Amino acid sequence: MHITATIVFVALFVLIAVLGFLSARWQRGDLGHLHEWGLGGRRFGNWITWFLIGGDLYTAYTFVAVPALVFGAGALGFFALPYTVLVYPLVFSVLPRLWVIAKHHNFITAADFVAARYDSPALALVIALTGIVATMPYIALQLVGVEVVIGGLGFPSHGIVGELPLIIAFVVLAAFTYTSGLRAPASIAVVKDLLVYITVLALIIVVPWKLGGFGKIFAAVPAEHLYLPPIHSGNFGTQSFYLTLALGSALALMLYPHATTAVLSAKGPKTLRRNWIFLPAYSFVLGLIALLGYMAYAANLPDNPALAPYFHRYGPQFAMPGLLLRYFPDYFVGIGFAAVAIGALVPAAIMSIAAANLFTRNIYRAYLRPDCDARRETQMAKLVSLMVKFGALLFILLLPTHFAIQLQLLGGILILQTLPAIVSGIYTRWFDPRALLIAWAIALGWAIWAASLTGFQKSGYALHFFGWTIPGYIGLYALLLNFLFAILITLLLRAIGRHSSADLTDAAAYQE
């Protein structure tokens, strides 16, 4: 048991819990309205939006999983970097337009937009359901990061004593999200980032210095681990997978409900665009974090007698916590571990709010209680955010971790299939809603089949094409299939004059 580390960890945790509850008073608004509770009143300026989107996208799981992936899989794990480079140009071109339309019509979710744009509650329902299904395992995964650091502090891994810290952390999270809404993760994100930057900077300076420089670190890693295997005899191998995975993940990211929530909470498109110029600063940190995987490799951490039991229990996921334990004093371990744990709470809060917004707006109000007023709607969203979080907690406590990881993998593939309806809708009303619905179902069916070929272990599918073998990300291949069918069926419906062109949104909202 690391006593000093635990004390620092707990102290920081208490600090952010207090902050979470106090933030209900900040930029005070009527929390009985969904756009106040669930979008912070659409008033977040430059700074807060930067912290909020950063806290949203670079999650605790990132800090643990990215070094773990590089440690275990080598070069392939580095796909996280091109992925974050691709994200901002994509969102920069697409999402400010969504903001303008959403503000014009008081849309809270992307499914709200789809419902009105295509005058199709059915299409909106599948968009909302896909969003909720993809978000649930994502929340559960945040807990995996917390579990690893709590284990690293020396708590037993099983039994009620081992699980109690996780449960307490989650009850606190659930309580402040309930009372403060999106304002809570927004204010906590600032503290979280401070801790993350301190930890990463310290790691990236101290560890290479102790290991004798980057040259020595990379020399310790075998070459087949450091690079993607070369293309040979018409097989692109990991290279095409790397590329499609980076691109597919970047596209998927902007469709995740928690990304929409963070984006719509900004003050305006100008705030968003200005933010995205500076958000790559996070990606830079992510690149450094990824390199920690090789440092753990070069330092031969799993053979260290003090760390071996942790690696035995958590596998490569212990790469980043292991470096902290190996090279830093106890109090600093507490800061670093707190950064991971708090880094889990911010996105988990935003995700649960996003899922709650979707349920309330696009299922509850659209199908169950069309006559509910703003106050009742918000009350429902608050309750759902609680349910979503406890669902995720039970998921982690009762099921093996690899289920959450596999479901999250599948979730990314599924959420990508909402792209034709949402993103095309921002630009054109050409597609027919039924065509989009059928294409979504076909793509979803194919994607689940393709993922089942590896027993839901991997997200790759080898496409054979005129003698070439092109392994790629299932999500991206399914997206191509999705677009293909959406276009074909729309053309067909238009040809027989049965297409729908009803649009409840105001054309003026598209003229920014």
Partner 1 sequence: MKRKAAGLGFWGVLYLSIPCIAVLAVPLYNRATPVLFGIPFFYWWQILWVPLSGFFLYLAWRRVERRG
> Contact residues for partner 1 (CB under 8 A)?
75, 78, 81-82, 84-86, 88-90, 92-93, 96-97, 213-218, 223, 226-228, 230-231, 239-240, 242-243, 246-247, 270, 273-274, 276-281, 283-284, 287-288, 291, 427, 510-512
Q: Which of 301, 141, 282 is nearest to 211 (CA)?
A: 301
Q: From the CB of 283, what's the least distance to partner 1, in Å?
A: 5
* Max CA pair span of the chain: 73
| Structure-derived torsion over alpha carbons of residues 258, 386, 178, 257, reported in degrees to the nearest 10 | 10
Asked if 179 contacts 23 with a C-beta cutoff of 8 angstroms, the reply is: no
Question: What b/e string do you get for 102-131 counting C-beta neighbours within 10 Å, with b at 16 or more?
Answer: bbeeebbbbbbbbbbbbbbbebbbbbbbbb
Q: Nearer to partner 1 by C-beta: 215 or 445?
A: 215
Q: From the CB of 47, what's the least distance to partner 1, in Å?
A: 17
Q: From the CB of 17, what's the least distance to partner 1, in Å?
A: 33
Q: What is the Cα–Cα distance from 68 to 73, expressed in whole angstroms?
A: 8
Q: From the CB of 234, what's the least distance to partner 1, in Å?
A: 14
Query: What 3-state class would DSSP assign to 468?
Result: strand
Q: What is the Cα–Cα distance from 301 to 307, expressed in whole angstroms?
A: 7
Q: From the CB of 78, what's the least distance to partner 1, in Å?
A: 7
Q: From the CB of 41, what's the least distance to partner 1, in Å?
A: 25
Q: From the CB of 242, what's the least distance to partner 1, in Å?
A: 6
Q: Nearer to partner 1 by C-beta: 70 or 128?
A: 70
- Report which DSSP code applies to 233: T
Place of tokens 């659209």: 366
Q: From the CB of 274, what's the least distance to partner 1, in Å?
A: 7
Amino acid at 492: L
Both tokens of 22, joined, read 């106090």
Both tokens of 66, joined, read 């990215």
Q: Nearer to partner 1 by C-beta: 332 or 473?
A: 473
Both tokens of 361, joined, read 């707006």
Q: Nearer to partner 1 by C-beta: 139 or 426?
A: 426
Q: Nearer to partner 1 by C-beta: 76 or 202?
A: 76
Q: Nearer to partner 1 by C-beta: 75 or 356?
A: 75
Q: Nearer to partner 1 by C-beta: 278 or 468?
A: 278
Q: Nearer to partner 1 by C-beta: 82 or 391?
A: 82
Both tokens of 24, joined, read 């209900």
Beta bridge partners of 472: 461
